[in-house]
Structure 1
């Protein structure tokens, strides 16, 4: 049996759409599925019309079984369709540690995605995280390589990607930490430049 997995879903909402009731309805459908653990969601602070969902499963097989469930899968799509301007995007990650409860309990989570990873990425990310963990306002982190190959922008070549979910006391605390020379230099080294990294802040709720 494979390890626990998180489906990371991004929803693009219609302007001023309310997601609270659809998210609750979706959670109730998920709760009936074998292998479902929890659903957490929140709007991007940088773009409130985008919603991040983290859906934890016992394993990838449980999620695939749900996708082939027929009526229940269609019911989830039906609950979300009225508030969306485009189909959801999704990928999978085996967070370490899992579950990421300590991260999601933070006042805000910085979801940092790295694309076009270098040959030294594993060493570089370990160094970066070691610096961040010492910063004022840092609370918790969970991270890992993304299962699917991704591109940051449409038209870019897809490749291996990595996601770090970092809990902070506030957005300001995170921003302040990244302006210190030690951390700023480590981010530059790890990402290879701003075009290879994406950061968004989310205040998560767990259904």
Structure 2
């Protein structure tokens, strides 16, 4: 399992609109092949910073099957107008789980 972490900084004042767009986009991820879960967290210290935490079966499920697909384009159309800068994305593997 791969965890995608996308850090997204949005334009000040667009938090509610961005969150509404993400809420609509959850159905696109729910239907995506290989997508296991989708969560969003907002920074306490930097309220315009969000992190999407998306679990994929494989790296390819995200990078080949989803990225560039029509659902991905639809997702980007819902949220990209609020981006301050392009999202920073990385993929991680679990190496330790203590609790």
User: When the two structures are superposed, what TM-score results if normalisation uses the length of structure 1?
Assistant: 0.43
**What secondary structure is seen at the aligned counterpart in 1 of 2:31?**
coil
User: Is the radius of gyration larger for structure 1 or structure 2?
Assistant: 1
Question: Partner residue of 2:12?
Answer: 15
CA distance in 2, matches of 1:86, 1:97: 32
Question: Partner residue of 2:56?
Answer: 57
CA distance in 2, matches of 1:97, 1:59: 18
Q: Deviations over 1:125-159 (max 9, x none)?
A: xxxxxxxx8xxxxxx4xxxxxxxxxxxxxxxxxxx
Question: Partner residue of 1:95?
Answer: 94
Higher percent of residues as helix:
2
RMSD: 1.8
Shift of 1:85: 1.4
Higher relative contact order (CA 8 A, sep 6+): 2
**What secondary structure is seen at the aligned counterpart in 2 of 1:31?**
helix
Q: Where does the alignment leave 5 or more consecutive residues of structure 1 unmatched?
A: 99-132, 134-139, 141-207
Shift of 1:23: 1.4
Q: Could you list the runs of 4 or more consecutive aligned residues of structure 1 that deviate by over 3 angstroms after TM superposition?
A: none
Shift of 1:72: 1.2
Q: Deviations over 1:77-105 (max 9, x none)?
A: 1111122111111000012458xxxxxxx
Q: How many pairs are equivalent? A: 96
CA distance in 1, matches of 2:94, 2:46: 24
Shift of 1:27: 1.2
Shift of 1:26: 1.9
Q: Where does the alignment leave 5 or more consecutive residues of structure 2 unmatched?
A: none
